[in-house]
Structures are given as C-alpha cells and as structure tokens.
Amino acid sequence: MAEFFNNVLFIFQRFNWLSVVDILLVTAIFFGLLYSLRGTQAMVLLRGMILLIVLIVLFTSLVDLPAFSWLVKNALPALLLSIPVIFAPEIRRTLERLGRAGNLWTIGNHTDGLEMQEAIHAVVSAAARLSARQHGALIILQRLDNLEEYVESGVRMNAKVTPELLLQVFYPNTPLHDGAVIIVDGCLIAAACVMPLSSSGILNRSPERQMGLRHRAGLGISEVSDAVAVVVSEETGAISIAHSGRMIRRLDPERLENILIAFFRPNGLGSGSNWLEQFFSKLFPHKED
C-alpha cells in the first residue's frame, strides 16, 4: 500500500499544465469519436471490439498461455489496420464535418435572403397541405455542400418554388412524385432525384414502423451533406426534418418554419456564433422520436 501511494505521489509531482493539455486533447478525441458514432451501427461494433479486447487482456494477464499470447500479439496489428475499414463511413462523415466547420461563414453569401424566405414559406405551406392530404414528399434544401451529383439523377426544372408546384410534383402517381426535389438558392432545381439511403440504426429503433424509404433517404442525404431534408409521411401525414444525421418528427408548420428560418437566415449564417446559437436553440430542445 505504501508503494502504491508513493507511485501516486510521484505521478502528481510530475503533473503540470502540459499534462492537463495532453489529457484534455485525448479526452476531446475520444469524445468526438464517440459523439460521431452515436446512434449508428458502428457503435454496436465498437462496443463489441472493446469487450473483446478487454476479455483478451484479462485472459492473457491472468493465465500463462504462451501460444495464445503469441497469436494475440501478432494478430493485433491486423486488427488495428481493420479499424479504418470497419469505420470508414463514420470517419469520412467526421472529416467532412470538420471540413465544413471552417466554411460556415460562406453560407450566407450563397443565398439571397428574400428568395430563400419565399421558398421557405412555399415549402412550409406545401408541407402542411401535403400532410393534410397524406401525400408523401421529400424536399431537400441545399446549403453549403453542392448536390449536383444528386441533381443529375433527377429531372431538371429550374422553376420558382411555389406551394402549387410542390403539390403537383408530389401528387400520387404523377411522373415526378417518386423521388426528392432539390431546392438551391430559392429555386427548385430538379425533381425525382435519387437520394442515398441512411445506414444508421436511428429509424430502426423508432417505436413506430411507418418510416419507409423517404425517411431513410432524407436521413441519408443529411448524413453525407449539410443539406436540410423535409419529409412528409405518406402513411401518417407527419412532417419531419433531418439534418446532420438527426431527425425530428411530428413537426407542426410553425415549428418547421422556425427551424428552416434558423438554418437559412442571412444574418445568422454570416457568423459562426450566431449560427450555432440558433442551431442549438432550435434543434436540441426537441426530442428525437
């Protein structure tokens, strides 16, 4: 016991402000990793890997098994090399978010405030009317990341955004109703666009099972870009919004409009602090379903 206290005292004697910075950096890295993996299938894999490593360490330290220890020691480099392969989508998503973080100030320069506000009003009005009629819809609003590759998968329109146009596009069994519309700078660029489907497990854990391909596509485009996706359920008429791999469901038109305005308000998008304040105040008070 005395030796243990001596070792602890020795550690604290060598502790300085550089040690604090070192510990904080390591903590921040692990926090960022776990934060980016939360709500995904990768978190299950990570828990399994940690449990396996702990069991192997305990087994090799408590029991003298030379052959097994040799196998673990030689297999460990291969396991470390496999981590980037297993977590490739999450690593890519995290790096993309870091790349976008330095460019938040440019968002406000890409959109005209009046045109975008008119487009938001049209989207909210159309979403409310589509919800009342239980007509499914998927509306993507581009922000900083370019969505040209997804525009190419649909039919170009280059039309002014109006509620009537969105109602016509998403009317059941029309040629353009199956897919997403993409809105850029207040203009409806294309319809019937194909979106990437989400690979996360967020929708699988929902107590309800009415979330189909539209919700997965809306969540998927929010995972690979900074776009905002508005989804209207064909089964229930519920309005949802997805951004940054997260989805808020059962929105009323007023809340939907407030969130969209917070994302695209020119004054708020010009500075990082205002944008973050609006983002957290609008999104995080509401629970995910």
Domain boundary among 101, 123, 138: 101
- Quick one: pLDDT band at residue 109, thresholds 50, 70, 90? very low
Provide the number of structural domains found in the chain: 2
Tell me: do 59 and 181 sit in the same domain.
no
Query: To 10 degrees, the CA torsion angle through 77, 78, 84, 86?
Result: -140
**205 and 89 belong to one structural domain:** no
167 and 57 co-located in one domain: no
Q: Tell how strand 137-141 and strand 180-184 pair up.
A: parallel
251 shares its domain with 163: yes
pLDDT value, residue 273: 39
Indicate if 259 and 206 belong to the same structural domain.
yes
- pLDDT bin (cut points 50, 70, 90) of residue 259 is very high
Residue 128 or 53, more confident: 128
Q: Do the domain assignments include residue 146?
A: yes
* Domain assignment present for 14: yes
- Last residue of a domain, which of 101, 131, 164? 101
Same domain as 144, residue 91: no
CATH code, domain with 152: 3.40.1700.10
Distance CA 25, CA 27 (A): 5
Tokens of 111: 């959109």
87 and 132 together in one domain: no
Count of Cβ atoms closer than 10 Å to residue 46 Cβ = 18
Pick from 67, 101, 135: which residue ends a domain? 101
pTM value is: 0.63
Residue 28 falls inside a structural domain: yes
110 pLDDT above the threshold of 50: no
Would residue 233 count as lying in a domain?
A: yes
The secondary structure of the chain, three-state, reads: CHHHHHHHHHHHHCCCHHHHHHHHHHHHHHHHHHHHHCCCHHHHHHHHHHHHHHHHHHHHHHCCCHHHHHHHHHHHHHHHHHHHHHCHHHHHHHHHHHHHHCCHHHHHHCCCHHHHHHHHHHHHHHHHHHHHHCCCEEEEECCCCCCHHHHCCCEEEEEECCHHHHHHHCCCCCCCCCCEEEEECCEEEEEEECCCCCCCCCHHHCCCCCCCHHHHHHHHHHHHCCCEEEEECCCCCCEEEEECCEEEEEECHHHHHHHHHHHHCHHHHCCHHHHHHHHHHHHCCCCCC
Per the domain annotation, does 137 fall within a domain? yes
pLDDT at 232: 95
Q: Is 128 left (phi over 0), alpha (psi -120 to 50) or beta?
A: alpha
Tokens of 1: 């016991």
Q: Which residues sit opposite 247 in a β-bridge?
A: 242
Q: Do 38 and 166 sit in the same domain of this protein?
A: no
Domain assignment of residue 288, yes or no? no
The answer to whether residue 52 sits within a structural domain is yes
In whole numbers, what is the pLDDT of the chain averaged over residues?
A: 78
pLDDT category at 105 given cuts 50, 70, 90 is very low
Cα–Cα distance between 193 and 142 in angstroms, integer? 13
Residue 284 has pLDDT above 70, yes or no: no
Distance CA 10, CA 4 (A): 10
Complete edge-to-edge strand list for the sheet that includes strand 187-193: 155-160, 187-193, 180-184, 137-141, 228-232, 239-243, 246-251
- What's the rounded mean pLDDT across residues 234-253? 90
Judgement on whether residues 132 and 93 belong to the same structural domain of the protein: no
Is there a single domain that holds both residue 97 and residue 110? no
What pLDDT is recorded for position 62? 74
pLDDT of residue 121: 95
- Encoding tokens for residue 283? 């999104």
Give me the domain span that covers residue 88. 2-101
Domain match, 15 and 97 both: yes
Largest CA distance in the chain: 81
Are 211 and 251 contained in the same domain? Answer: yes
